Amino acid sequence: MDEQKQENLEQAASERTAVPAKKKKDTVSNRSFIIALTIVIILGVVLNVFIGSVRVKETSMLPNFVENDHLLINKMAYKLGEPQRGDVIIFRKTVFGTSENLIKRVIGLPGDTITIKNDQVYINGKKQDQSYTKDGITTGTVSNFKVPEGQLYVMGDNRVVSLDSRSQDIGTVTISKVKGKVIFRLTPFSKFGTIPHYGGDE
């Protein structure tokens, strides 16, 4: 009888010590989950601050960007760095009474002098390569236009149809109002990857 009583006492003691151990394990598990969730939320916020996405809707950037291309943009590109000729940017403009996102290529930087004549583009007197554009020419006439401080002169790669800085309806783009620089193409998967840089300094 004493042996049975001793076994019961030992079993009860074992159960009493097991309960706190289980609670401790649950507490550690909950803490790990909270930490992991916090990290995910922080990463999500950081990515949302730095990265955005857009879809191409028009044909003004043919042949390098086509309708429904899904692109990632760096929203902090010009807050942390400077624009470069050849950058592809997203900005918002009101065109014919409708505010919309536009995608264009940076052609001129603040202080640059832009001339367009005989289907050719000259920046600061230097003829520009147009082999990456759809037709290899730029229509219209611009005579020694100096890009104002804090502004960008932009054009589409499909120069014959693009509505861009050559038009008074668009004009130059305020750098501080650029929504982002295009950095990556998600779809179509056949073109998945970083964006080729055309139209920069030779």
Is 198 inside a domain boundary? no
Q: Are strands 178-187 and 98-108 parallel, antiparallel or unpaired?
A: unpaired
Beta bridge partners of 100: 93
Q: What is the mean pLDDT of residues 123-139?
A: 97
Is 47 inside a domain boundary? yes
In a shared domain, residues 40 and 84: no
For the chain, give the mean pLDDT: 87
Beta bridge partners of 102: 91
Of 17-26, 63-72, 116-125, the least confident: 17-26
| Nearest in space to 114 (alpha carbons), one of 139, 138, 143, 87 | 143
CA pair distance 199, 157, nearest whole angstrom: 10
Do residues 146 and 113 lie in contact, with contact meaning Cβ atoms separated by under 8 Å?
Answer: yes
Q: Tell me which residue has tokens 């309708």.
A: 67
Q: Which domain holds residue 133?
A: 56-189
In a shared domain, residues 96 and 81: yes
Is 197 inside a domain boundary? no
Residue 32 a catalytic site member: no
Residue 60 a catalytic site member: yes
pLDDT of residue 184: 96
In a shared domain, residues 143 and 45: no
CA pair distance 104, 55, nearest whole angstrom: 13
- Is it the case that residue 90 has pLDDT exceeding 80? yes
pTM: 0.78
In a shared domain, residues 76 and 135: yes
Report residue 96's pLDDT band, with 50, 70 and 90 as the boundaries.
confident
In a shared domain, residues 40 and 97: no
Active-site residue (options: 23, 79, 99, 104): 104
Is 93 inside a domain boundary? yes
Q: Where is pLDDT greater, at 83 or 39?
A: 83
| Nearest in space to 69 (alpha carbons), one of 198, 196, 186, 157 | 186
Q: pLDDT per residue over 24-59, tens digit each? A: 666 767 887 788 777 777 766 666 668 999 999 989
In a shared domain, residues 42 and 111: no
Active-site residue (options: 60, 134, 162, 165): 60
**Which of residues 32, 54, 76 is at a domain's end?**
54
Is 37 inside a domain boundary? yes
Is 40 inside a domain boundary? yes
In a shared domain, residues 123 and 31: no
CATH code at 115? 2.10.109.10
Q: Where is pLDDT greater, at 5 or 110?
A: 110
Helix segments in 74-127, DSSP class H: 77-80
- Is it the case that residue 6 has pLDDT exceeding 60? no
In a shared domain, residues 104 and 38: no
In a shared domain, residues 159 and 147: yes
